[in-house]
Amino acid sequence: MGGSGDDSGSSRLSRTFSRLSRHQSRDPPRPPVQPERLPAQQDDRPPPPPDPEPAPAPLPTPVATPPKRPDKATKPKLPPRPLSKVFSSNEHGSAVLQGFDAFRADETLCDVVLVPGDSTDTFPVHRVIMASSSDYFKAMFTGGMREQEMREIKLHGVTKLGLKNIIDFIYTSTVNLDMVNLQETLEAANFLQVMPVLSFCNQLLSSEITIDNCGEVERIATDLLLKDLQLNIGEFVRQNLSALVECGRYLQLSETSMANALSKNSLQGFSELELYHIAKGWLEYDYPNRRSSVYGLMRHIRFPLMSPSDLIQISQDDEEGAESMMRSDTACVNLLLEASNYQMMPFMQPALQTERTQIRSDDTHILALGGVMRQQLVVSRELRLYDEKSGIWRALKPMEVPRYQHGVALLGGFLFIVGGQSNCTTHSSGSSNCMC
C-alpha cells in the first residue's frame, strides 16, 4: 500500500510538470515585473552642495602624421580638352593667285583698265589686287585721288613692256628678265613702287656689271636713284680702275664714281702722279661740261705725298697747256701750295696732317730697325719691313745714324725713334760697351 501510494504521488507530480511545460511552450514569456518606486518624501532641508568637478585631464600631444596619398582609383578625372588645331596650307596662296590670274585673263570682275604711256594697249586688272601689291596704286585707289573713280587710267611714266612685266609679277609672282627688258622693267618697278621686283633688278644689275657696260649701268642707277647699285658701281670701279683706264671706259663714268674711287685708301697699284694724270684725262675728255668738276676730283689727289720734282712737273705742264686747270681755280692752287709747304718742312709734317697726307693703305706691317750684329759687334741703321704675302723682309730707307737699345713709337702714322746707342767698343776682357 505504502509503495503504491508513493508511485501514484510521483506520477501525479510528473503529469503536473508536463502540463506546465506545455503551457510555457504555448504562451510567450512575460517580462519580469519591475517594482514600482514610491515617490520620495519631501524634505525641507537644503540639498547638500554639489561635489567639485574634477580637473580636466591634460590633452595628449598631437603626433604629426603624413597626409594620406590619394587613391588613384578615386582621383577625379579632368574633363576632356576641346579639339583645337591650326591648319596651314602652302598651296592656298598660289591657288588664289591662279584664280585671280584666270579672272584677269577673261576680264571677270576687273574694275579698272591701265594704259601704258607709250601705247594704246589696255590691261584690265582688279583695283584691290594692284593696291595690295603696289604703294603707288594703294595711294591712287585709297587716297581720295580722282583716279579712284576712273574706269581707265593712263600711266605716262611706264612703257608697255614694263607695265606688262609688273602686272604679270603681281598676278603670278614670277617675271622673266633679261638685258633687253631689264631697264624698262626696272623703271616700271621704280615708278609703281613694286619693291620685290625693284630689289631683284638691283641684284641682277649688280651681278652683271662688266668693263664694257659699267658706264651704262651707272647711268641707270643715277637716273633711278638706286643707292645700292651706285655703291656696287663705285666698288667695281675701284677694283678695276686699271682695266678701265687701259681701255678708256673710265672716261664715260660720272664724277661721283671717279671721286669715290680716287678717295679710297685701298686704291693701290698707282702712284699719286699717275692718279693725277687719270683725273686730268677724265676732265679733258669733255672739259667744257666738266670744268666745274676740277676741284671735286683734284682734292682727292694726295699731292703732299708726291716728290718735289713731281710737283714742279705738274706746275710746268699746267702753265704750258692751252687750258690751265690748276691755276684757273684758286682752290686747286691752294692744293699745290699745301703740298709744297709739306715737302719743305719735313720736321713739321706730323702737325700738318690732312686727308691728303694719309698713305693709301689699310694694311698693317711688322718693322725691324737698328740693333747690334752680335758677330761683328756692329750697330745697324737698317729699317726693314716684313711682307706677309711673300714672307720676306724688304729693306726701306735706312736711318740717318745707327741705333741700339733705342725707343720706338708710332704716332699719327709717323715712326719716332728716340735715344739709344750708336757704337760698340770691345774691351780686352771680351765684353762690349755701346755708346751713343
Task: Tell me the three-class secondary structure of 26-79, residue by residue.
Answer: HCCCCCCCCCCCCCCCCCCCCCCCCCCCCCCCCCCCCCCCCCCCCCHHHCCCCC
The answer on pLDDT for 275 being more than 90 is yes
Please, is 264 exposed, middle or buried when counting C-beta atoms within 10 Å of its C-beta (0-12, 13-18, 19+)?
middle
Position 274 scores a pLDDT of 94
Q: What pLDDT, in 10s, does the model give residues 364-403?
A: 778 888 888 776 678 888 888 888 888 888 888 888 888 8
Query: If you average pLDDT over residues 12-27, what whole number do you get?
Result: 54
- d(Cα 166, Cα 143) in Å, to the nearest integer? 22
Query: If you average pLDDT over residues 227-244, what whole number do you get?
Result: 92
The one-letter code for the residue type at 297 is L
Cβ proximity of 410 and 400 under 8 Å? no
Q: What pLDDT, in 10s, does the model give residues 73-111?
A: 566 676 677 778 899 998 998 999 999 999 999 999 999
Position 156 scores a pLDDT of 93
| φ and ψ of 373, to 5 deg | -80, 110
- d(Cα 122, Cα 108) in Å, to the nearest integer? 15
- Would you list the domain boundaries of the chain? 263-359, 366-435
Coil, helix or strand at residue 189? helix
- d(Cα 33, Cα 386) in Å, to the nearest integer? 138
pLDDT grade for 47, boundaries at 50, 70 and 90:
low
Position 44 scores a pLDDT of 54
Q: What spatial distance separates the first Cα and last Cα of the chain, rounded to whole Å?
A: 183
Mean pLDDT of the chain: 82
